[in-house]
Amino acid sequence: MGFPAEASLDALPRVTWKQAMSSGLDTYRRLVNAGLQPVRPPVAITEFERRQVKLFARADAVSLREVTGRAIDWASAVLASGAVILDTETTGVDTSNDRAVQLAVTDMTGQPLLDTLIDPGVTIPDLATLVHGITDEHVSGHPTFAEVLPELDDILGGRDVVVYNAAFDGALLRAEVARVHGDEYAQQWTRARSWKCAMRVYSWFQAQWSVTQEDWRRHKLPGASHGALGDCQATLELIRSMAAAGDPPEGSEDPVTDSRGNPLGWPSQVE
């Protein structure tokens, strides 16, 4: 749900500008210019130069500086932690049925801990190959996910796992684990470690509110290579950039607003 459609604004109370100021209400533009982002629908209407202007409660606005600061603090903390970064390349975007064809894990210095192609046991669709360049011939003779899983378990242990878009990679891995050990084991496997969504944190850093999603707008991974190891390293560079509060890498202006960008329905945790 987004903010109310124009037709439904008729139900909002009409107030004078003086009443608005005394009630802690303000316009969207004035709030944003003051470094505040309204995150709730408008609560009243006023008239200005014969135009209806929506009014928002200052109490429902958040500080953009504080939101960005939250991302900077998170990035600094995770860099100093023992967390790992994980990424996959897949046969498609259906997390229940598609398979991993490449898996990589790095530590927080960028050192690869795992970097392997995976034989998914199914044909890799041409559309997927167009994205990551991996074909059936590339994965032929490489281990299956079941064969890689013990090594992945040893590497992850109880560490925090940072993923750019934990909703997607996490759900896909849970389905892969379920194929090997069953659903109950897969649920325990995901709960055995804390999953951190770097995409969500980067949305705080960019601090661009999506009215339609009622959340901070998601962005594509800057510098993404569409290779698992390369994307782990791109995620690390992004985290370093946020921690340094420097200019984000090129490509950060490209927003992701589809459902794949929303970490919903997956027990990812961002602290």
- CATH code (residue 252): 3.30.420.10
- Residue ranges of the chain with per-residue pLDDT less than 70: 1-8, 246-271
**Residue in this structure with the two tokens 């999506």, named with its chain if needed:** 210
CB 138 within 8 A of CB 172: no
What pLDDT was estimated at residue 123?
97
Per DSSP, what are the bridge partners of residue 85? 106, 162
Q: Looking at this protein, which amino acid is placed at residue 73?
A: D
Beta-strand ranges (E) seen in 23-119 are 25-27, 36-38, 44-48, 51-57, 61-63, 84-90, 100-107, 112-117
What pLDDT was estimated at residue 211?
82
Q: Which 8-state DSSP code applies to residue 269?
A: -
**Domain count of the fold of the chain:** 2
What pLDDT was estimated at residue 220?
95
Domain assignment present for 70:
no
Quick one: tokens of 206? 């960019």
Is 234 in the same domain as 140? yes
Is 225 in the same domain as 103? yes
What pLDDT was estimated at residue 261?
38
Is 105 in the same domain as 42? no
Is 234 in the same domain as 195? yes
Cα–Cα distance, 122 to 267 (Å, whole number): 27
Domain assignment present for 269:
no
Domain assignment present for 56:
yes
Q: Which domain holds residue 50?
A: 6-62
Domain assignment present for 17:
yes
Q: Maximum Cα–Cα distance for the chain, whole Å? A: 74
Residue 32's alpha-carbon distances to 26, 45, 62, 218, in angstroms, are 10, 18, 10, 19
Is 37 in the same domain as 139? no
Is 26 in the same domain as 101? no
Is 24 in the same domain as 125? no
Is 41 in the same domain as 89? no
Per DSSP, what are the bridge partners of residue 57? 25
